[in-house]
Amino acid sequence: MNYRLRNNVQLVERDGEIFLMSKTPLCALRLNRSLADLLGRGSEGRVIAAAESERGVMEQLAAKGFAERVRTAPEQPASLPEVSVVIPVMNRADELRRCLTSLTQLAYPHEKLQIIVVDDGSSDASPEVAREFGALVAPSGGVGRGPAAARNVGASLADGEILAFIDSDCSASPDWLCQLIPAFNDSDMAAVGGQVDGMCTESAVDRYEAVMSSLSISSRERVGNSGTDTFYLPSCNLLVRRSAFRSVGGFDDSMHVGEDVDLTWRLRDRRWSICYLPLGNILHEHRSSIRSFMSRRFDYGTSEGILQLLHPTRHKRMVIPPLLAAILVLCLMTYFTGGWSLLAAGGLLLSDAAAVRLRTGKQGLPITLAAILAGRLRALGSLIYYLSYHLVRYYAIALIMITLFAPVLWLLFGTVLATAAGVDYAVKKPKLSFYTFTGIYLLEQLAYGAGVFWGCLSRRCFASYRIEIFRQMEQTA
């Protein structure tokens, strides 16, 4: 496996000791000579080819944010496994034709492919289109049973060692399978997800979805196994080892949204690994009208209640260091108390940075006071963003209702919304004006938040609103 130090990480030598320094977040790690020599091979952005005995420590550094995996080329297994591609469909004949056409162009050996289309009670020509392409066509056993039930039917008919799930409104890239299959060289790997890109760019919603879709996981590789975090893989681009799929009972037939979250969490609970790769991309035809966009976000929100009941140990987590919380409170008090609380916040920040500098100096860590201050300000900014995002995501409707009776709070709500949307706009860089982006952003949060409330109310379980707060980042690992 190959690795590389992240862009914000560097090796620093001081007084005969070597440190691994990260600027964002600000942290330092003292290295022994053998580890320093290993990481020295990655100076100036070079790739570190880690031997089997070195993979363990490199994986630890990757988990802590100092390094990242690098896949220079797919490491194809000696014998390619047979793959069963499962496509659920209901009344999407044209989209299905486009999807099946893309599968005919896959670079993967076609003699190792089995195409299964599960019809969920279509009244159009979807079954005929599937047969036209030579796919095995099976009924879901009803009308509108949902994609989870349809996928389970397809999986029950599969001969392949690997189940490849793709939706009928998606198109696969030619290298879809070739780029994702190598991850199964790891015998503990149960599921692999690939990149999901938007198919269209005509409407404002299309361009919003291109950067903000919940189906787009990351631009970096991510692995999850044990633990109680909420990392999952979307089912529209999902490869699963058939034996692992069957060992957990497949998808939950009763779920029409969130079934992919539930499946991948159950796999992880059984100590299987799951992996996301920014490879093997598919194109997804997102809902492009405001109405359909908000309806889908509402549906997604309703899944939180049932997922909380099924997986009570997996819930929202937030790191709120007491010092940063105190500084933030002092800053917010400025509106009511004048400049003294802002001065107090600045004094507290400076005194903390000086104390940290004194402590790190005694430990021999090469961190300047300016670097510590910059790190604290970045951490404060991150805390403000995450708090703002959470408020808008789950409480936007309540906040708007409150402002109707207390107009003075419009300024607070506007600040919270502008903070959350502004950060996402700067990071995601959508091809939209800030005002258009923020408008769609607010509609998304309103729809999702309404869905969460409705889902929790209908199940009489409001645990989705509970947050587990940690004082330090290390406690969340």
Tell the residue number behind the tokens 């802002």, with chain if given: 342
**In degrees rounded to 5, what are phi and psi of residue 392?**
-70, -40
Q: Which two tokens stand for residue 33?
A: 């000579």
Domain count, the chain: 3
- The confidence score (pLDDT) of residue 425 equals 97
CB count within 10 Å of CB 41 equals 13
Query: Does residue 75 fall inside a structural domain?
Result: no
The last residue of one of the domains, among 20, 39, 70, is: 70
Paired sense of beta strands 162-166 and 237-241, if any: antiparallel
Q: Let me know if residue 309 belongs to a domain.
A: no
Q: How many Cα atoms occupy the beta-carbon half-sphere of 352 within 13 Å?
A: 18
d(CA 111, CA 114): 8
Residues 166 and 256 in one domain: yes
pLDDT of residue 476: 33
Residue 302 covered by a domain: no
Instruction: Tell me: do 281 and 345 sit in the same domain.
Output: no
Query: Six-digit token pair at 182?
Result: 């190598």
Question: Strand, coil or helix: what is 312?
Answer: coil
Q: Judge if 104 and 229 occupy the same domain.
A: yes
The verdict on residue 34 lying in a domain is yes
CB 293 within 8 A of CB 287: yes
Please list the residues that pair with 204 across neighbouring strands.
none
Residue 212 lies in a domain: yes
Q: What are phi and psi of 261, to 5 degrees?
A: -60, -50
Strands (DSSP E) along 54-195, which ranges?
67-70, 83-89, 113-119, 136-139, 162-166, 170-172, 189-193
Contact 411, 377 (CB under 8 A): no
pLDDT of residue 475: 35
Q: At which of 70, 94, 122 does a domain end?
A: 70
- DSSP code of 134? T
Residues 218 and 282 in one domain: yes
Single out the residue in 39, 70, 101 at which a domain terminates. 70
Alpha-carbon gap, residue 250 to 134, rounded angstroms: 26
Residues 243, 342 within the same domain: no
Q: What is the C-alpha separation between 111 and 81, in angstroms, rounded?
A: 11
User: Does 16 lie in the same domain as 97?
Assistant: no
Same domain, 439 and 364: yes
Q: Give φ, ψ of 27 to 5 degrees.
A: -160, 160
Domain assignment of residue 330, given as a range:
319-476
Other CB atoms within a 10 A radius of the CB of residue 15 amount to: 6
Q: What is each CA distance from 98 to 104, 174, 282, 316, in whole angstroms?
A: 10, 13, 12, 38
User: Which residues does residue 224 pair with via DSSP β-bridges, in sequence order?
Assistant: 274
CA 358, CA 314: separation in Å to the nearest integer? 39
Q: 311 and 462 in contact (C-beta within 8 Å)?
A: no
Task: Decide if 294 is inside a domain.
Answer: no
Number of residues in the chain: 477
Does 325 lie in the same domain as 435?
yes
Statement to judge: residues 54 and 88 lie in one domain = no
- The tens place of each residue's pLDDT in the chain, 477 residues long, gives 788 888 888 888 877 788 888 877 777 788 888 888 888 888 777 888 888 888 888 888 887 778 888 876 566 676 899 999 999 999 999 999 999 999 999 999 999 999 999 999 999 999 999 999 999 999 999 999 999 999 999 999 999 999 999 999 999 999 999 999 999 998 999 999 999 999 988 999 999 999 999 898 888 888 888 778 889 999 999 999 999 999 999 999 999 999 999 999 999 999 999 999 999 999 999 888 999 999 999 999 999 999 999 999 888 888 888 889 999 999 888 877 878 888 999 999 999 889 888 887 777 777 888 888 888 898 899 999 999 999 999 999 999 999 999 888 898 899 999 999 999 999 999 999 999 999 999 999 999 999 999 999 999 989 889 888 887 754 333
Residue 249: inside a domain: yes
CATH number, domain with residue 98: 3.90.550.10
Same domain, 125 and 66: no
Residues 101 and 56 in one domain: no
Does 99 lie in the same domain as 66?
A: no
Q: How many CB atoms lie within 10 A of CB 374?
A: 15
Question: Which among 270, 239, 267 is positioned nearest to 252, based on CA atoms?
Answer: 267
In a domain, 408, yes or no: yes
Integer-rounded Cα Rg, in Å, for the chain is 25
